[in-house]
Amino acid sequence: MNYFWDLFLGGLTRGSIYALIALGYTMVYGILQLINFAHGEIYMIAAFTALIVASILTMQGLTGFSVLILAGVIAILYAAAYGFTVEKIAYKPLRQASRLSPLISAIGMSIFLQNYVMLAQTSDFLPFPNLLPQSEFLDSISAWIGPSDFIIIVTSSVVMIALSLLLKFTKMGRAMRATAQDREMAMLTGVSVNRIISRTFIIGSALAAIGGLLIASHVGRINFYIGFNAGIKAFTAAVLGGIGSIPGAMLGGLVLGLAESFGTGYISSDYESVFAFTILILILILKPDGILGRSSQQKV
């Protein structure tokens, strides 16, 4: 039973990160019907930025909480700025094109950003300092749940709740949802679609940055390639939950994380990703719109 609990927590931790990144995919998809393959790279860039800032601060003699906050905030801001810029460069000129053109542009962007970081920084793995705070409280529960697992699960839950509230109760949130429902209609009612799209990218990228920060601290190492796999998995999670659906992305991430964790624990880690993808296929065959996806009965 203990083993089960451990696997469950591990899955939850990983799932929370998937969910954070998946939110970016699902929000962008909801509005642009675009699979933003460069999203994973944003997560990687955020981790690098945090690492750079944190190292400089540590060398200046700062420690602990202030490093975490500063590095975190700067990384999130930068990720948001990257998301914003990527959209302006690679997707905005393609608003009128067929849906596949931005997809290829996104793949190009992903290749570009990976190589950009590799060339400007390094191809090696770098150790990532554990920025997550230590406290007596965390020590006291460490037998029951790992401190970083605890922080990741709590932080991502808080972030996701905050996002849900933002989308539900603010004017911007309503405008975003309206745009996702029907872009032309939203435009007619006076929503500036371009601004909404930019904001979507900014928020999505910031969420990915939080994910990047948490997981880099948890795993303790990063390189320029970490965004790619995480991106594919997170996208899978978004589809699993029903792409375009915010709670769907969260649920999808958790399901995927748990599936991988239990699959590894009870069957074999050889096929870790196979479990994730098999679950995806099975669920889509049973529910073609994902777990929480809006059913899309065609209008005739």
Footprint on residues 10-69 left by other proteins (CB under 8 A): 10-11, 13-14, 17-18, 29, 33, 35, 37, 45, 48-49, 51-53, 55-56, 59
Cβ contact 240:233 at 8 Å: no
The minimum distance between CB 174 and other proteins, in angstroms, equals: 25
Nearest to 14 by CA among 247, 212, 254: 254
SS (H, E, C) 12-46: HHHHHHHHHHHHHHHHHHHHHCCCCCCHHHHHHHH
For residues 139 and 170, which CB has a smaller minimum distance to other proteins in the complex?
A: 139
* Alpha carbon separation from 117 to 34, 59, 124, 225, 270 (Å, rounded): 24, 22, 11, 9, 30
Residue window 177-206: x/- pattern of binding to other proteins, with contact defined by CB under 8 A:
------------------------------
Amino acid found at 229: N
The minimum distance between CB 155 and other proteins, in angstroms, equals: 15
Nearest to 180 by CA among 199, 202, 165: 199
Contact stretch for other proteins (CB under 8 A) within 143-151, 153-161, 187-195, 247-255: 143-151
End-to-end CA distance of the chain: 52
Judged by CB under 8 A, the residue of 67, 82, 87, 250 near other proteins is 82
For residues 103 and 193, which CB has a smaller minimum distance to other proteins in the complex?
A: 103
Contacts to other proteins from residues 259-278, by CB under 8 A: 260-261, 264-265, 268-274, 277-278
- 135 lines the binding site for other proteins (CB under 8 A): no
